[in-house]
Chains A and B, each alone.
Chain A
Amino acid sequence: MITKRIIPCLDINKGRVVKGIGFVNLKDAGDPVELAAFYDREGADEIVFLDISASHEGRGTVIELASRTAEKVFIPYTIGGGIGSIEDIREILRQGADKISINTSAVKDPQLISRAAKVFGSQCVVIAIDAKKREDWSWEVYIHGGRTPTGLDAVQWAQEAENLGAGEILLTSMDKDGTKDGYDIALTAEISKKVNIPVIASGGAGKLEHLKDAIVEGHADAVLVASIFHYGKYSIKEAKQYLRSQGVDVRI
């Protein structure tokens, strides 16, 4: 049976991990590759790197990151943040990344999704959606790292992205992100129901029960997790053992 995935997410700025990391056993816990290799050994199912570098010189480090990761990490990894063209995608995949994730540039130019899917295959095109609840219980898509509302309905955008050839949806709830008080289950469930591609839930994980809720009630195929692992509150093994004890099929 296909298992549910646990995916640590690393925020990267100018080639370094941004959020504080609690591990003591790593030579350089600020090095994204060291940290990703550690998560591979720990049993993570995939890794997502999210580059938040604002400058062009910071962006250059992404290619190097993709390449160095390929030498040390033997699980799939995705690189996202600031990717705007087929050429960007080609270069990152050529270095050994398995998938790229696009957000703002896909909203601005939806055909980028279909072009990328045609050239590289849907399996490597992840559409990241930052969604915020509206008063009428629908969700609106935001871009530019959550700064700019688009007027787009998140559910409709997810469906359109699927039709254009997206292979997965990385769905972040802006309302829940950073709260540690659980994923947005209603949002996750709604989009999971409406698309036939895997949905990765993101934003709000604070305890292990939240992972289970996103999977069982939100019907997520995978959960993105950052701080609860980075700060060592839980290990991936603990998370998986817990999920298994709750009847969720995971790879241990």
Chain B
Amino acid sequence: MRIAIINYNMGNLRSVENALKRLSVDAYITSAPDKIMGADAVILPGVGAFADGMYNILSLGLADAIRQASASKPFLGICLGLQLLFEYSMESGKTEGLKIFKGSVEKIPAGVKVPHVGWNSIKITKTGPLFKGIEDGEHFYFVHSYHAVCRDISIVASITHYGVDIVSSIQKGNIFAFQFHPEKSSGSGLKILSNFCDLVMKGKK
């Protein structure tokens, strides 16, 4: 089993790679579309600004590979990697995203401190293979100023309260995405990543 971690120059790659290494999973960091398509599963991580991320994806010629991977194999988006799956973001002007999901990315409304930094609990709204062994109300590490507003609520797998209800997990078919950082969420986060790897293994058998 080999997992591709997409490198689009947006940071946080090493943390994801290290977490997978800890789980003894074979992962590689790549910016090559054929290496992404050749993997058993794909992770789109990311820390940084939406517009920079999208610009890098387009200039590296990765948009089609990401869309195809998300349509054909286990796919995991983390933080910015979740937000980029939507139609557009309002972060520093309107920027178009990958449009895999319907909806937008909006600033966390005033009334709470922004960025939303720290450990917050999730309310699971749709159980799935990645939540195996994860209790409702478990805490994960968040750090973000924008959040996804889904037009199709059937894809929402968990919500987290921070001033408003924030979509913290998404699942649609083989696509999983988290607003929090499983790779920085200690044992609970590693459990989610390990569940993802189990799912990939099962798919291979």
Using a CB–CB cutoff of 8 Å, the interface residues on chain A facing chain B are 1-5, 40, 43, 45, 70-71, 74-76, 93-96, 98, 120-124, 167-168, 196-198, 221-222, 251
User: In the complex, which residues of chain A have a beta carbon less than 8 angstroms from the beta carbon of B195?
Assistant: none
Question: Interface of chain B, helix or strand or loop or mixed?
Answer: mixed
Query: If the complex has contacts A3-B139, A94-B14, are A74 and B183 also in contact, measured as CB distance less than 8 A?
Result: yes
| A39: min CB distance to chain B, Å | 10
CA separation between A249 and B205, bound complex, in Å?
Answer: 43
Residues B117 and A198 in contact, CB atoms below 8 Å apart: yes
B25-33, B63-71, B97-105, B185-193: which lies at the interface: B185-193
- Residues of chain B having any CB pair with chain A under 8 Å: 11, 14-15, 18-19, 21-22, 47-49, 113-121, 139, 141-145, 161-162, 181, 183-187, 189-190
Can you list 19 A-B contacts with CB-CB less than 8 angstroms, sorted by A residue number? A1-B120, A2-B116, A2-B142, A3-B120, A3-B139, A4-B118, A45-B141, A74-B19, A74-B22, A74-B184, A76-B141, A76-B184, A96-B14, A98-B15, A98-B184, A196-B113, A198-B113, A198-B118, A251-B139
A-B contacts, CB under 8 A, total: 87
Given the known interface contacts A40-B186, A96-B18, A251-B139, the answer about A2 and B11 at a Cβ–Cβ threshold of 8 Å is no
Contacting pair A75 B49 (CB below 8 A): no
B185–A74 CB distance below 8 A: yes
Output the residue of A1, A2, A70, A197 with the most chain B CB within 10 A: A2
- A2 to chain B: closest residue by CB: B120
Q: How far is the CA of A167 from the CA of B184 in the complex (A)?
A: 18
Closest Cβ of chain B: how far from A59's Cβ, in Å? 20
A68 nearest CB across to chain B (Å): 10
Extra inter-chain contacts (5) besides given A197-B115, A251-B119, CB under 8 Å: A74-B18, A76-B184, A94-B11, A120-B11, A221-B113
